[in-house]
């Protein structure tokens, strides 16, 4: 769209107001086969403007109506608004949620994610989801070496106490323009350790700022990446967060009728 990855990304949002309608139309196609749909894998599905637009909620309503499996990830407490739908989906084994927790330090949170929910609000979201029966994973992401990597165990402990049932992590990634933005941010907020942070980043990327290779970009490689992986694994094992990935049920999907379509004579009805 010709926008910058900095201020433009933070202030200019594109809205697909008819997203739920388009989704339902896709479900109605005879060739469609249900597979878990991930919401929030690119940008957060609970942007502040979601309070007014309600697009995410309308999508979840479509998921519930046609019993389609759905996973979601967010760092916003706004997810609690939709806990009624999520709880009903969870009863059918059709949903799982993940909450991203970058740090427990409010000062770091304010300068790193100034428009996202505070750490304690994210913990509250995990507690609310878990209490409603929604399987909830904590994503320790991104782990920023030299800034937030010391908090891995503390984050996992707090989220386990709140009811998280699984955990995952992603180390810092710096693709394309993000590299320069991050280094500017480092120089502004952490000038005393900027050099060390970038040295650690490069030690996990074979000397480069970023490695896009599948299987390496999420975790990195080398001694420091292995240290992070070992610490994470030990903490998850101790806290009972090392459960295998939860599979959702794809068999309950009930295909919606296309406009003017003929219903299935033998379709089961509740």
DSSP 126-147: HHHHHHTT--EEEEEEEE-TTT
Structural domains of the chain, with CATH: 8-171 (3.80.30.30)
* Predicted local confidence at residue 257, as pLDDT: 56
* Predicted local confidence at residue 251, as pLDDT: 95
Average pLDDT value over all residues in the chain: 92
Which tens digits make up the pLDDT trace of 63-107? 999 999 999 999 999 999 999 999 999 999 999 999 999 999 999
- Tokens standing for residue 28: 């109605």
Residue ranges in the chain modelled with pLDDT below 70: 256-270
* Predicted local confidence at residue 84, as pLDDT: 98
* Predicted local confidence at residue 265, as pLDDT: 44
Using alpha carbons, list the distances in angstroms from residue 173 to 110, 134, 179, 216, 249: 20, 29, 8, 10, 32
In whole angstroms, give the CA distance from residue 228 to residue 235.
11
| Sign of the alpha-carbon torsion through 209, 218, 166, 60 | positive
The pTM of the full predicted model, rounded to 2 decimals, is 0.90
The C-alpha angle with vertex 52 and arms to 47 and 107, in degrees rounded to 5, equals 35
Beta bridge partners of 100: 139
């Amino acid at each position: 769209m010709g926008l910058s990855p900095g201020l433009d990304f933070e202030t200019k949002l594109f809205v697909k107001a008819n997203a739920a309608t388009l989704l339902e139309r896709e479900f109605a196609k005879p060739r469609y086969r249900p597979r878990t749909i991930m919401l929030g894998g690119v940008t957060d599905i609970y942007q502040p403007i979601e309070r007014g637009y309600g697009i995410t909620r309308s999508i979840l309503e479509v998921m519930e109506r046609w019993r389609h499996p759905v996973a979601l990830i967010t760092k916003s407490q706004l997810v609690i608004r939709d806990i009624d739908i999520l709880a009903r989906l969870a009863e059918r084994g059709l949903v799982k949620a993940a909450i991203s927790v970058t740090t427990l330090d409010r000062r770091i949170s304010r300068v790193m994610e100034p428009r996202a929910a505070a750490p304690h609000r994210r913990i509250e979201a995990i507690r609310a989801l878990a209490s409603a029966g929604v399987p909830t994973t904590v994503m320790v992401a991104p782990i920023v070496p030299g800034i937030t990597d010391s908090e891995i165990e503390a984050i996992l402990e707090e989220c386990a106490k709140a009811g998280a049932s699984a955990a995952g992590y992603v180390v810092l990634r710096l693709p394309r323009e993000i590299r320069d933005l991050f280094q500017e941010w480092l120089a502004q907020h952490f000038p005393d350790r900027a050099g060390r942070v970038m040295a650690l980043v490069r030690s996990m990327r074979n000397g480069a700022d970023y490695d896009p290779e599948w299987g390496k970009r999420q975790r990195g490689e080398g001694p420091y990446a292995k240290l992070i992986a070992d610490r994470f694994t030990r903490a998850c094992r101790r806290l009972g967060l090392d459960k295998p990935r939860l599979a959702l049920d794809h068999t309950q999907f009930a295909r919606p009728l296309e406009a003017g379509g003929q219903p299935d004579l033998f379709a089961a009805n509740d």
